[in-house]
Amino acid sequence: MAAGPMNTSALTFAPILPWPVLVVACLAVVAFTGWEIARRDRTGRTAPRRPVRPAALRGAAVVLLLLAALRPGWTGGEAQTATADVDVYFVVDTSTSMAAEDYNGTDTRLTGVKQDVMAIAKELAGAKFSLITFDSKATVRMPLSQDATALQTAMTTLQPQNARYARGSTVTGAAQLLKERLASAKEQHPGRPALVFYAGDGENTSTERPAPLDAANVAGGAVLGYGTPQGGRMKDSSDADARYLRDKASGNPQDAMSRIDEGQLRGIADQLHIPYAHRTGNEPISDTLGKAQPGAFAPTNGVGPGRTELYWLLALAAFLLALPEPLRHLTALQDVRGPRRKEPRP
C-alpha cells in the first residue's frame, strides 16, 4: 500500500508465527512461572526457602522472546521499495571446493556467492526467497519467505563443507529436492512464476552420474559459475588457522587444487533453459539479471512506508535477563566440588 500524504507513525506487528500460537505460548509461560514461584514460596514454610528470582528471570526472558517473535516495528516516513511477484530459489553448492580462493583475486568462491545472492535479493525486493544448499546431501536452509533479513542471516552463516566429512558431491545433488519444492509451490500458488539461481563451480566429485534437473516449473533465472581454470587452493573453513588441504593421491603430496568446470555448468543451464554467467566479481549482477528471462517477472519501483524494526531490543533484553543463569550454575558447580584440599605430607 502506498504511503499517504501525511507522515504518520504507528506501532505495527509482523509476527513470524500465527498470533494464536504466540498468545497461547505466552500465557503458558506466565502460568508455569507463576506456579513455579508459588511452589518455591510454599517450600519455605517447612524447609529453607528456595530463591524465586531465577525462575522469574527465566520466565521473563522467554516472554520477551515471544514478544520479539511478534516483530514489532515503528512505522513512519517513506522508503524506496520494489516488489516482484515471483518465487526465487537459490541453489548453492556448499561442497569443500567452494572454499577455493580464486574469486576476484584470493577470495573464496562462496564469498562471491554470498555477495551475488544478496544483490539479487535486493534487485527483486518483495519476492519470496528460498535457499537450498547441497554438498554430500541437499538441505532446505530457508523455505519460501519474503523475509530478506532471514535470507541474509542464512547466507552469512553459510560455510563450505568440512573436508573431513566430505564424501564426494554431484553437481545436481539438489535436483530432486528442488523439483519437489517447485511442484509444491506451483500447487499452492498456480500461475506464480519461479526463478532458479544455481550457484556453484561445476566440480563433480561423486562417482555417480549427475541426475538431470527438471525445468518443468522454472520460469527463469541463471546458472552462476565461480572459480577459474587455473584453480585455487582450499582451507578448512571451520579453522581460521588451518593449513591448505593437501592432495595425497600422488606420491608427492602437494596443495589440493580445485578448478571450475564450465562444461558442467553450461549443461545445467541447458537443462533448466536459463542462461549461464561466469562470475568474477568485476561485473554487476544486473547484467546477469537482464538475461534471466526478463519476461518472467516484472519488478516495480515505488515509494512505500518506512518501518523501523524493534524486535532486536526485546531479544537483547531477553539475553541480558538470561545471562545470570549460566553464571549461577557455574557457581553452584564450584560449590559442589568444594575447595581443593591439600594432601598431608607423609
Domain ranges of the chain: 10-76+307-337, 85-298
Q: What is the mean pLDDT of the chain?
A: 82
Name the residue with higher pLDDT: 283 or 82.
Answer: 283
Task: Decide: 327 and 26 in contact? Cβ < 8 Å.
Answer: no
Strands, E, within the chain: which ranges?
10-13, 72-83, 87-93, 128-134, 138-145, 194-200, 220-225, 232-233, 246-247, 254-255, 257-258, 276-278, 300-309
**pLDDT tens column, 330-346:** 776 666 665 555 555 55
Task: Decide: 83 and 121 in contact? Cβ < 8 Å.
Answer: no
**pLDDT tens column, 108-138:** 999 999 999 999 999 898 899 999 999 989 9
The yes-or-no verdict on residue 2 having pLDDT over 50 is: no
Name the residue among 109, 101, 112, 106 with its Cα closest to residue 257: 101
Distance separating alpha carbons of residues 254 and 240, to the nearest angstrom: 20
Name the residue among 270, 299, 330, 296 with its Cα closest to residue 83: 299
pLDDT at site 329? 66
pLDDT at site 167? 75
The residue with cell 520460469 is 219
Weakest-pLDDT range from 23-32, 291-300, 303-312: 291-300
**pLDDT tens column, 173-215:** 999 999 999 999 999 888 889 999 999 999 998 888 899 999 9
| Residues near 9 by beta carbon (within 8 Å), at least 6 away in sequence | 74, 75, 76
Name the residue among 151, 141, 153 with its Cα closest to residue 178: 141
Most confident of 61-70, 88-97, 208-217, 307-316: 88-97
The yes-or-no verdict on residue 69 having pLDDT over 70 is: yes
Q: For 9-38, what is the mean pLDDT? A: 83
Distance separating alpha carbons of residues 43 and 276, to the nearest angstrom: 70
pLDDT at site 251? 62
Per-residue confidence band for 102, with pLDDT thresholds at 50, 70 and 90:
very high
Name the residue among 177, 179, 175, 139 with its Cα closest to residue 158: 139
| Residues near 293 by beta carbon (within 8 Å), at least 6 away in sequence | 195, 219, 220, 221, 274
CATH, domain range 85-298: 3.40.50.410
Q: For 286-308, what is the mean pLDDT? A: 62
Name the residue with higher pLDDT: 36 or 118.
Answer: 118
Per-residue confidence band for 81, with pLDDT thresholds at 50, 70 and 90:
very low
The yes-or-no verdict on residue 3 having pLDDT over 50 is: no
The yes-or-no verdict on residue 4 having pLDDT over 50 is: no
Distance separating alpha carbons of residues 145 and 12, to the nearest angstrom: 19
Name the residue among 53, 30, 128, 33 with its Cα closest to residue 328: 53
- Report the b/e string of 12-26 with b at 16+ CB within 10 A: eeeeeeeeeebeebb
